[in-house]
Amino acid sequence: MAHVSGTANSFADLKTSFENACVANGWTLADGILYKGNVHIKFTAATGYLRMDCGTGKSGASLTGGHTYGVMMHNPTFNPITFPVNYEAHIFADPDEVYLMMNYNTEYYQHLNFGQSDVPGITGSGIWFTGHARHDMGYTSSGGALIYIGAADTYLGTACYNGSDVGLFVNGNAGSFQSSFLHCTLDGVTSWRTQQTNSTPTAGMLAPLNWAASLLYSIPNDFNGGNLLVPVRAIACRNNNGLTIAAQMKNARLLRLDNLNSGDIITFGTDEWKVYPWHRRNATQRDGVNWSNGATHSGTFGFAFRYTGV
């Protein structure tokens, strides 16, 4: 397990630094592709974005078995990034899970994540990858930084009509630019899955965040202001409306940041966790903003990653 932090002067610089951190912690970089076990990742850096594509293998400098879509960090035009940016990488093994957070313009965050599910009995490779936005979202549009939060206690998640989708399987059942993907062939339906766009379980898709909505809207505790960490799960929709947990992140959680600041470290037993907002913390509109207005913040919804050192 490793925690690596630093600064980057461009997306190309961030790409190189992050790849080097992964190589120093057990990953291999060859032909421009980062890989370990089944997980194969290819980064593409440009002036306006850092794109990540994922596949099940490689042939020379090309991914094989890859998804049609990639995910990205990006530079929206109406809230442009001022470089240098800060970054933090949380890199884990057994199972392989990698989380990259980019902090820019003081209070804004974006992220890229990938790993291997250790849930037994899941057919396919079990590879998963997510990012702040899907690669074709249109990061140069004025909507490129908008976050739309789903209705309270229903499907909770980010709608993605023309905004960033946040990723890490918090997607809702609305919109068309989902940015969380899992390789799974349960029921022989669809190798790469993403969140469905309706409320009825659809075989071959992933379920939205319904199961966690009431938990996240119930914290922090009204009695003592205490928080709790909610598991991050990719839930596969099955035939006959069945649901199966296809991936559960061992080193990531969901939480609320009402009583926490971005970057705080919290302790549960012997474990430490570092917390980040989905995009930007805003305690005034703690539940975010629903369609159709959107916002350049994500309320107090946040991620927590297991923290392994300075």
pLDDT by residue (tens digit) across 260-289? 999 999 999 999 999 999 999 999 999 888
Taking only the tens place, the pLDDT of each residue in 181-230 is 999 988 887 789 988 766 677 888 888 777 788 888 888 887 787 888 99
| Residue with the two structure tokens 């919804």 | 301
State mean pLDDT over 233-238.
90
Residue 203 contacts residue 238 (beta carbons within 8 Å): yes
Cβ-proximal residues to 71 (8 Å cutoff; 6+ apart), any chain:
51, 52, 112, 129, 130, 131, 132, 133, 134, 135, 167, 179, 181
Q: Which residue has the higher pLDDT, 141 or 36?
A: 36
Strand pairing class (49-55; 97-104): unpaired
User: Residues 269, 225: contact at Cβ < 8 Å?
Assistant: no
The position carrying tokens 């396919």 is 124
Q: What is the DSSP string of 109-170?
A: EEEEEEEE---TT--S--EEEEESEETTS-TTSGGGG-BEEPPTTTT-SEE-SSS----TT-
> Is the pLDDT assigned to residue 128 strictly greater than 60?
yes
Higher-pLDDT residue of 209, 157: 209
pLDDT at 41 exceeding the cut of 70: yes
Most confident of the following: 2-6, 145-149, 174-178: 2-6
For the chain, count helices (H), then strands (E). 2, 22
Q: Residue by residue, what is the 3-state secondary structure of 103-121?
A: EECCCEEEEEEEEECCCCC
In single-letter form, the type of residue at position 2 comes to A
* CA distance to 8, 69, 95, per residue, from 72 (Å): 16, 10, 23
Q: How many CB atoms lie within 10 A of CB 94?
A: 9
Average pLDDT on 145-169 reads 67
Overall average pLDDT of the 121-135 stretch: 90
Q: Is the pLDDT of residue 48 over 70?
A: yes
163, 201, 194, 195: which is closest to 291 by C-alpha?
A: 163
HSE-CB for 293 with a 13 A CA cutoff: 7
Does the pLDDT at position 243 exceed 80? yes
- Residue whose pair of structure tokens reads 């913390």 in the numeric block: 281
pLDDT of residue 153: 47
- pLDDT tens for 58-114 read 999 999 999 999 999 999 877 899 999 999 999 999 999 999 999 999 999 999 999
* Distance in angstroms (rounded) separating the CA atoms of residues 120 and 236: 14
Average per-residue pLDDT in the chain? 88
pLDDT at position 43 over 90: yes
pLDDT-based confidence at residue 246 (cuts at 50, 70, 90): very high
